[in-house]
Amino acid sequence: MTMRGSWRIVLGALLAALILANPSRRADAAGENGAISDGVVKIGLILDLSGPFSGNAGIDNATAAKMAVEDFGGKVLGAPIEVLVGDHQASTDRALAIAREWFGNQHVDAIVDVAGSSEALGVQAIANARHKIVMLSSAGASRLTNEACTPTSVNYGFNTHAIANTLGTALIARGGRTWFFITVDYSFGYDLESDISQIVTERGGEVLGHARHPLDAGDFSSYLARARESGAKVIGLANAGRDLAQTISQAAKSGMIPGPQTFASLTLRINGVNALGLDVTQGMMLSESFYWDLNDQTRAWSKRFFERAKTMPNSLQASVYSSTMHYLQAIARAGTDETDAVMKAMRETPIDDFYAHYATIRPDGVLAHDIRLFQVKAPAQSHYPWDFYQLVATIPGDQAFGPLAQSKCRLVQP
């Protein structure tokens, strides 16, 4: 053996020892050796940047994902992390086209959010066919983790069943035994109304009727008139985005908020309350998995988010940050971005951060975490900026999302 060859062996041994002693260097070496496909980790978000859901699930969701990437260090296993953002413009066809392009030609490894349940159902099916991961914070149709469940999808934020359990159970306990629904005419609205109707009737309540409206309806006066005439104690708003904002605003103008009937919004977020004002939204009941002012952890992260976005985060943005971070941590644990290995790492590792505490991903793809019931404060009760919510109740995740035994997901063993 030559002297040069001996030195190569010695140097190789020293390098190996250094890598074993230094986890970050070990990660870099894994990336350099091809553990990351294409040498880069690409994650995407298919959002509504200009349509009816842009206020809730728009560019601020992308901001949350980018914050997670930056906080992670911008690289995983030595490979750079890229964030792609697509605008589906409230079109399911466009959302599906983006997903096909990203998975087929852009080599996107995972989609970490899709705005809208109809869009999410299609994207989830495409991801399953391409054996890619999709994580959902802004879509909550219960069928996503029931009949349409896939082994590579995670419902990280909420679903209609959890909202129904939280609002329905709590409001019936407070005397809201009769309900009337104003519902958007597509899958998300149907699932919301169906799930909460079931909870209401199971607990001895009664659904007096519903009024269904098209997406982006504009004028809600006739639907509100029917709700008023029903005499229901609770008016459930099973819509979102601009439709929800218009419904609430027109209800306030007609003297229904505040009024003898309780308005329960199934999708109202803090940014919606801020835009409409406490004088318009006061007394409304809503369920959320996150509120910026809950504790020191939520306040610290939310203030950082506010510095970037100039708005306090809603639960969707907190969920996107947490899910993105969990995905990147799973790649680091697995030592690869290969789908099965990453999914295994995500399922095996509990989430314990400012968003969810000791929560795990179930076989049906549900992240079962606490859901809270809030009431919007009256203007006189608010003492500082963004002081909007009064906590009424906290529902543990296993109760909010329901037992796994009731899941209709084919991946759940009987």
Residues 218 and 126 in one domain: no
Residues 238 and 329 in one domain: no
Residue 399: Cβ-neighbour burial (10 angstroms; 0-12, 13-18, 19+): middle
- Ranges 17-31, 295-309, 335-349: which has the least confidence: 17-31
Task: Note the pLDDT of residue 169.
Answer: 86
Contact 239, 187 (CB under 8 A): no
Is 215's pLDDT higher than 60?
A: yes
Residues 215 and 86 in one domain: no
Taking residues 293-313, what's their average pLDDT? 97
Cα–Cα distance, 371 to 227 (Å, whole number): 27
Q: Is 53 inside any structural domain?
A: yes
Task: Note the pLDDT of residue 89.
Answer: 85
Is 321's pLDDT higher than 50?
A: yes
What's the token pair of residue 16?
A: 């190996």
Q: Is 346 inside any structural domain?
A: yes
Percent of the chain with pLDDT over 90: 71
Residues 169 and 50 in one domain: no
For the chain, the average pLDDT equals 89
List pLDDT tens digits, range 370-386. Answer: 999 999 999 999 999 99
Give the pLDDT band of residue 414 (cuts 50, 70, 90). low
Domain total of the chain: 2
Contact 224, 253 (CB under 8 A): no
For 345, what's the count of Cα atoms within 13 Å in the CB-facing half-sphere?
19
Q: Residue 179 belongs to a domain with what CATH number?
A: 3.40.50.2300
Q: Is 353 helix (H, G, I), strand (E, B) or coil?
A: coil
Which helix (DSSP H) or strand (DSSP E) does residue 63 occupy? helix 59-72
- Ranges 54-63, 217-226, 338-347, 390-399: which has the least confidence: 54-63
Residues 250 and 154 in one domain: no
The number of angstroms, rounded, from the C-alpha of 200 to the middle of its chain's C-alpha atoms is 25
Vertex 233 angle, CA 228 and 234, to 5°:
85
Contact 284, 260 (CB under 8 A): no
Residues 192 and 145 in one domain: no
What's the token pair of residue 176?
A: 């809201």
Is 266's pLDDT higher than 50?
A: yes
List pLDDT tens digits, range 102-127. Answer: 999 999 999 999 998 889 999 999 99
Task: Note the pLDDT of residue 3.
Answer: 33
The residue segments making up the domain with residue 114 are 39-158+295-369
List pLDDT tens digits, range 63-73. Answer: 999 999 999 99
Cα–Cα distance, 56 to 39 (Å, whole number): 33
Task: Note the pLDDT of residue 118.
Answer: 86
Percent of the chain with pLDDT over 70: 91
